[in-house]
Structure 1
């Protein structure tokens, strides 16, 4: 699976030299509302790979991608912005987490989107001197679980 950094780099490499200079200008001048500008001295004479690093440093990985899409749209690079947005969706896993607890047991249920596939796992936290178990499955219905033996498990478990 591609990383946010590699996706950003790939799309910034698509810009011509003058377009890339304009992209950096948007970052330095703070032309987009709600973002902190990156110091002009940090962006002067740097290549795309350094710009990606600086953006991730300044804004975090997820926001760096969103900001790049906004800048590309401001530059009227709508096709490139759309491609970047689609590819970022594939690179950033979506996570849904739910914690359930009963009198005798608690568990953390987690669904993670990886590319076009959703993976789920359930984590049984240790209680007293218990052992943490991680059970996961993908959408092909195969379950990956450690062998559980010599344990006491209280509470209902249903796999649909």
Structure 2
């Protein structure tokens, strides 16, 4: 399992090739790549700055990946999340999941992304023509995790 919080861009093809080469039992790899949009809430976005809490962020991402591994039969998982100043169309996040079968890989990837959007300690600041603004969590992201149950409660009960 690979967890990385970094300023550098990542190569999706390289990450997926490394994952596939690691285990011949892999039958499915599902991935999600998030990009910086050029518009949000009706305003142009010039740039986005992502901040995080070092150490705490990696632990949070690892907990999300471990919870996915406990729910589904996963062979491997990768979460790479960028921080720092990013421009529209820059890659922000890669979540990739490998399993023997596609159903488990799709479900685990969606689960990991849903929890990453709501539980991981990242803060986003957008630069618009009108100035800078912090991005609040979306209600739709909070609603998306309802189908999975409470991750924090599950992680604490396993400790």
Q: Shared fold (TM-score greater than 0.5)?
A: no
- Structure number with the bigger relative contact order (C-alpha 8 A, sep ≥ 6) is 2
TM-score (norm 1): 0.28
